[in-house]
Structure 1
């Protein structure tokens, strides 16, 4: 007979595995009920409540028969446990079938897939119940056999992503190896007003986090391959990723395990099956902490200026700022100012509706083959002359601010190489050549002195990857210098 510690581990794993499909049963039944129209709610609410009640009774039975205080297999009445579990599963199956038949007759296909998910979770739970004797006596608890897949289900398809700054919503990453867990949590979180992306392993999560930013990670503890705890440890070991808050998820009732996660840097933990109200409260509280830390951090407004020929490079700048926000979390918060993210009204000019460059801390100009679009006569230089373009206005406004108040600090980048143009349209080619000539003359006027020497510095790049590397390095140094300067001033004043 195995020793006590082996049995305890097997019992904990059995509780975990049983709670998972039961959580799916409850979760899908709740969402079907939430989605029903008032007239359908009258018809199906009682049956859906019966399914949920049976699910909650199963959770209680798991604790009653397989609780953590059980010391040996001899203390478990296996036949009685199986009888009680099967009784509740029969209720779940029976009520599901009745709803399914009525929904099919009424041609209500919108929630039939969720009923099928309930039925599949019931079958999974029944297989686990049937295997209780073997699981309790086996020296190594085996996983439930995975049914052969007949094709990709809707829960495995890619979902669209809407990247957002932390506001009332946020961008969340769900990491769970169980497809039904991922789908339930994805739908729950989406209903709460958050954007959500799902992956099936810790390895996938770490790869994704290298290129995309998220405001919060919901991470399953028990996964094959890289476990949730190992994934958490790798996140917290990364200088860039360690500031992303993580909430751990588990169907296990091992408090010690969750304490370990908190000690390793997790913000919070949630036991499965999820209580929707508790889930929302934990996510909201976690994101609120992030907002508070951002608010008390030193803020840097970064004005991104460029004509329309470097749109990919503008996206690079936003991505770089996102990475640096993760790195400087709690110390500094970088706010990109991008005209394309503002609700521009047709009744006003672009320049009248965006934050003035001279009122920011850092100006980033990105140029290539255009100087930009001309401005109306209502926007003139102090001497009454017209600006060459909106980009010229932004550059000179930032430069005037720096001369008068020492801010913003200015970074200027110019892309090398000629743009690809169709030679079939002669006017387009001539217009671009004219734009390149105007841009060169403008830069020469501001950056090159009468003797031919450079009086203003700028950086050249050929590809987006080069801009990415340079801009991250330059912004990091500027922000670090400002933070060090502020610390020195505070120390001197003290």
Structure 2
């Protein structure tokens, strides 16, 4: 193979990778949107997202066809630079324009909870449009240069050799045939390393949905910091990255004695066999081509983690016979073991982003689902109370610098009604105020105003409960010592409204008190009232049954 032909193929592979990157984002985000709209499959929104998904799949096929080096080599006409750029413009801009058009319509019509994913999808489509325009512009420049100099029509293999994209492509591909000798890393949950933030975010969300704890890095330096600070069980590593490439990072990982056991799965739009073989030879567990099937990737990840677990169990008995080496590995940097130091390192490398906003109704549905899990004995978040649990460590690091609770709870101080447990939520999920009788005191109202207006919490829930001692004391009406009577006075106004009702006076008062405190919140706070009017906040009240654990909405 001649040098020009080799450069041409390198370039085409690289261009295909660059164009497949935004396409992968469009396919991934349209899949997330279709999943979110599954209950509205007969709606126009669902139909439009389906069209976006179909156009994205069409783009992927066209890019792989147009930029196939084998096909271009067979057709001398296709190798002509003018014809090549014309083909790109004609073939790709039609489905891409359709995607951009549908995105713009959906951004005007879609509910608020879909906007973040639509924004990301729209950004990916414009990124691809910019790439196509860059390629066409470069071709036009080369054609004009050739015309001015009186040369024949330039060919791909002649004119792209001096382009910066060729240098990026050849740098990546050269690393497939070289071996480096460095490395610095460690083990724990799943680390996603990809220089494209859209891919990082998308893959991270998909993995978190499957129950995994995930950290992300957009370059090798960030990845090294995270791996040094936090144990990881698996690394998903992109092949093409600026600076230290994925191949070089893989070489470092597999040559360092402390981190050789961490499985690494390579992710790339480069589908040439030599690259895949080289990655496997360097120690990669697998080589997965983008865009990947989520089910297939999930199966591969599960297999990797099971294999790693078996290896750790088999090596554990060996470590017990050589305690010196185990101690050396676990205590190589005492500062890293301190929780504050751990959080600082993790956050410095991977600062948390504000999660996508949710509607008040979606927040309430999430809360009720959590209570249903609690009632059915299927809690997912009990392990977060254990600081040594991996998911807990990851969540602590994410919430150390900022909090974004999706719901605020005004509940009773009764020890039998811990909100995080009865709603099966974890660290940073709920903003909780607990006071006897779940009364809306001035302090409680101020705290809830902070949650709603500053933290952006879209839901406030007043939680009363059966057998409430504060309500019983208010109904009884006897003098109370010290300041115990202060919260009782906030409950007494509701007794007059229920004392003539049939049924148990105490339980009727519990429900009436919940309703009263909800009305007090909406009537005494202009901040909360304005947010409700703007559709950014919802306030509801409900009763928790001490006997069954079930929470029921009463207002």
Name the TM-score class by shorter chain.
0.5 to 0.7
Which residue does 1:224 correspond to in 2?
242
Q: Is the 8 A contact 2:89 2:132 kept in 1?
A: yes
More deviation in 48-57 or 293-302? 293-302
Q: Report the aligned-residue RMSD.
A: 3.3
Q: If each structure's helix is expressed as a fraction of its own residues, which one has the higher value? A: 2
Distance 1:132 1:315, change over 3 A: closer
Q: Given the alignment of the two structures, is residue 288 of structure 1 paired with residue 306 of structure 2, yes or no?
A: yes
Distance 1:37 1:80, change over 3 A: closer
Q: Given the alignment of the two structures, is residue 175 of structure 1 paired with residue 216 of structure 2, yes or no?
A: no
Q: Distance in 2 between matches of 1:18 and 1:341?
A: 42
Q: Distance in 2 between matches of 1:192 and 1:339?
A: 21
Which residue does 1:17 correspond to in 2?
18
Q: Distance in 2 between matches of 1:258 and 1:95?
A: 36
Which residue does 1:464 correspond to in 2?
none
Structure 1 residue 316 displacement after superposition: 4.0
1:466-477 maps to which residues of 2 (within 5 A)? none
Which residue does 1:441 correspond to in 2?
none
Q: Is the 8 A contact 2:41 2:47 kept in 1?
A: no
Q: Is the 8 A contact 2:263 2:284 kept in 1?
A: yes
Q: Is the 8 A contact 1:8 1:68 kept in 2?
A: yes
Structure 1 residue ranges (4+ consecutive) displaced by more than 6 angstroms after TM superposition: none
Distance 1:32 1:314, change over 3 A: same
Q: Distance in 1 between matches of 2:338 and 2:320?
A: 13
Structure 1 residue 132 displacement after superposition: 3.0
Q: Distance in 2 between matches of 1:96 and 1:317?
A: 46
Which residue does 2:253 correspond to in 1?
235
Secondary structure of the 2:235 match is strand
Q: Distance in 1 between matches of 2:89 and 2:76?
A: 14
Which residue does 2:91 correspond to in 1?
84
Write the deviation string for residues 50-90 of structure 1: whole angstroms up to 9, x where unpaired: 11111111111112211131227742543233212000001
Distance 1:44 1:6, change over 3 A: same
1:310-459 maps to which residues of 2 (within 5 A)? 316=337
Structure 1 residue 46 displacement after superposition: 1.4
Q: Given the alignment of the two structures, is residue 185 of structure 1 paired with residue 209 of structure 2, yes or no?
A: no
Distance 1:4 1:341, change over 3 A: closer
Q: Is the 8 A contact 2:11 2:165 kept in 1?
A: no
Distance 1:339 1:231, change over 3 A: closer
How many corresponding residue pairs? 289
Extract unaligned runs of 5+ from structure 1: 145-165, 303-312, 319-337, 347-494
Distance 1:20 1:317, change over 3 A: closer
Which residue does 2:43 correspond to in 1?
42
Structure 1 residue 35 displacement after superposition: 2.1
Distance 1:177 1:340, change over 3 A: closer
Q: Is the 8 A contact 2:265 2:286 kept in 1?
A: yes
Q: Is the 8 A contact 1:13 1:141 kept in 2?
A: no
Secondary structure of the 2:258 match is coil
Distance 1:214 1:142, change over 3 A: same
Q: Distance in 1 between matches of 2:49 and 2:280?
A: 36
Structure 1 residue 20 displacement after superposition: 0.4
Structure 1 residue 123 displacement after superposition: 1.2
Q: Distance in 1 between matches of 2:308 and 2:123?
A: 38
Structure 1 residue 241 displacement after superposition: 0.9
Q: Which residue of 230, 233, 245 corresponds with 1:215? A: 233
Secondary structure of the 2:232 match is coil
The two structures have a TM-score, normalised by structure 2, of 0.48
Q: Distance in 2 between matches of 1:262 and 1:43?
A: 46
Q: Distance in 2 between matches of 1:83 and 1:245?
A: 43
